[in-house]
A and B are shown apart, each in its own frame.
Chain A
Amino acid sequence: MVTTTEAPIRVLIAKPGLDGHDRGAKVVARALRDAGMEVIYTGIRQTPQMIAEAALQEDVQVVGLSILSGAHLELFPRVVEELKSRGIDDVLLFAGGIIPNDDIPAINAIGFKGVFGPGTDTNDIIEFVRGNAPART
């Protein structure tokens, strides 16, 4: 096995809110793993505090949120707030799930660089993460 001097990109994939299933989130997690990244997967029903605290403890460069419930405009800003209150202002944020086009500008405005709807090619997400993840260590 080859020693890679470059540490893999670390990504947190989380599901805020009360969504019951996480198929989409798992597909993204696996795709990023297969692209050589380390994906911390926390499961469903995460509060904004839990997501931000996990991002802090895991020192991830990227946080991806998946949401189906329609509560994104309420929950996403709270995640950003919780991250900021922990001094985390240098992670790449992206979102996936069911997000109406009309809501995308508002989500972009609070710092989510990428928003990926259902049916997105996972290669597009991989490319997005590789191209935008901030450097570490």
Chain B
Amino acid sequence: MTPSSFVGADSLVEGILQGNRRALSRGISHVEADTPTGRELLAQLYPRTGHAQVVGITGSAGAGKSTLVGAIAREQRKRGRTVGIVAVDPSSPFSHGAILGDRIRMQDLTADGGVFLRSMASRGNLGGLSESATGVADLLDAAGFDVVLIETVGAGQDEVEVANAAGTTVLVANPGGGDDVQSMKAGLMEVAQIMVVNKADLAGADTAVTQLRGLLAIADLGAWKPPILKAVARTAEGVPELIDAIDKHQAFIKSSEYAEEERRHHAERQLVAIARAILHREALSAARQSGALADLVSVVADRSRDPRSAAEELLAAVRREWAGR
């Protein structure tokens, strides 16, 4: 099939549902760039999602997330499951470019027809990361992958939102990362359902486990008690146990008493996160168009106006702009 036959949402949808990798890849580009075709794809394909086990893998830079994702994928393949992967790396705030190097850790998986790996840059587009990364995960789900893994660097709000969108979120920590572990408790701790101390071949793994346990003891948790595991991603040690824990959490979220309420809760968080991203983008664009943004920036910059009241006026300008169109 030639690439030109995959123009337009309908042919892409058909290709994706038939398992055509080229259609899937092109479709992902549309979703990532938030084109009209991308939106149409999601509208048509979302009802076909829900089959995949969607797992977020997050943690600080260099924690071994990609190595772990590779190890998880290999083990899942052994268990007969197909695996779609979205690996997100930060864009440069200066050039908006990015080097996406996560494939390096998963080279061997490239030859496996049961695996599809897509690298994504965060693109710094106003909270749109959660919108696009979860959209890409939805396409992989609709394409029929049994497991979808989303790798993000756990740093900001965006990543927390990506984690929110996954059914199960795994937080990757390291031995000796004491400060690291401390800084994680705000936000990430609450959204992770499984903790892994990776690089357990290094000294201090047990201390890290104890620290995490201490943090969990004071965290605001529901009925699910997050297990704390040790792993050596490089050798895949601890990875089968990690997958067992993920499966257990997946079974838990599908269990009858839990399911209905949590599904609604999950849907609400996802809906609000995406709506917020769109609102943010549209409001800022209206603020620019009306000229109010540039004007107010000037008066705040020269201190003739306080930023709080200037922000109120900016929003008033946005509302006028919206009312007028």
Chain A residues with CB under 8 Å of chain B are 1, 3-4, 7-8, 29-30, 32-43, 45-47, 49-50, 53-54, 56-59, 86-90, 136-137
B121 touching A38, Cβ below 8 Å? yes
Mark the stretch among B102-110, B215-223, B308-316 that contacts chain A.
B102-110
Let me know if B28 and A43 touch, CB within 8 A: no
Residue of A nearest to B120 (CB): A38
Q: Is the Cβ of B121 less than 8 Å from the Cβ of A89?
A: no
Contact A137 B30 (CB under 8 A): yes
Q: Flag whether B26 is at the interface (Cβ < 8 A).
A: yes
For the complex with contacts A43-B107, A54-B103, 8 further pairs of A-B residues with Cβ separation under 8 Å are: A3-B285, A8-B96, A38-B91, A39-B98, A42-B103, A42-B110, A49-B111, A59-B25
A-B contact pairs, 14 of them (CB 8 A): A1-B124, A1-B125, A4-B125, A7-B33, A36-B95, A39-B99, A39-B100, A41-B101, A42-B110, A43-B101, A56-B25, A57-B21, A58-B118, A87-B22
Q: Are A54 and B92 in contact (CB under 8 A)?
A: no
- Is there contact, CB below 8 Å, between B99 and A30? yes
Is B126 in contact with A1, judged by CB distance below 8 angstroms?
Answer: yes
Q: What separation, in Å, do the CA atoms of A56 and B113 have in the docked complex?
A: 12
Secondary structure dominating the interface of A: loop
- What is B's interface to A at a CB cutoff of 8 Å? 1-3, 21-22, 25-26, 28-30, 32-33, 35, 37-38, 91-101, 103-104, 107, 110-111, 116-119, 121, 123-126, 128, 281, 284-285
**B100 CB contacts on chain A under 8 angstroms:** 38-41
**Nearest-neighbor residue (CB-CB) of B87 within chain A:** A40
* Residues of B with C-beta under 8 A to A40: 100, 103, 119
In the complex, are the beta carbons of A56 and B21 less than 8 A apart?
A: yes
Cβ-Cβ contact count across A and B, 8 Å cutoff:
110
CA distance in complex: A3, B285 (Å): 9
A137 to B148, CA, bound (A): 24
* Alpha-carbon distance between A90 and B285 when the two chains are bound, in angstroms: 34
Partner of B22, one of A7, A29, A33, A56: A56
Question: How far does the alpha carbon of A118 sit from the alpha carbon of B228 in the complex, in Å?
Answer: 50
Name the distance in Å between A95's Cβ and chain B's nearest Cβ. Answer: 20
User: Is the beta-carbon distance between B103 and A59 smaller than 8 angstroms?
Assistant: no
- Complex Cα–Cα for A33 and B93 (A): 11
Query: Do B95 and A50 touch across chains, with their CB atoms under 8 A apart?
Result: no
Name which residue of chain B comes closest to A4, CB basis. Answer: B96
Q: What is the bound-complex CA distance between A39 and B125, given in angstroms?
A: 18
Chain A residue nearest in CB terms to B93? A1
In whole angstroms, how far apart are the Cα atoms of A79 and B233 in the complex?
A: 31
For residue B172, give the distance in angstroms from its CB to the closest CB of chain A: 21
**How near does chain A come to B87, taking the closest CB pair, in angstroms?**
10
| Neighbouring B residues of A137 by C-beta, 8 Å | 29-30, 33, 35, 37-38
| A4 to B99 CA separation, bound complex (whole angstroms) | 18
Taken together as a complex, chains A and B put the C-alpha atoms of A89 and B124 apart, in Å, by 31
Q: Are A33 and B99 in contact (CB under 8 A)?
A: yes
User: Could you tell me the distance in whole angstroms from the C-beta of B196 to the nearest C-beta in chain A?
Assistant: 25
Chain B residues within an 8 Å CB radius of A4? 96, 123, 125
Given the interface contacts A34-B92, A42-B103, A89-B3, does A3 sit within 8 Å of B125 by beta carbon? yes
Contact A57 B3 (CB under 8 A): no
Q: Are B1 and A58 in contact (CB under 8 A)?
A: no
* Given contact pairs A8-B97, A89-B3, A53 touches B119 in the complex (Cβ within 8 A): no
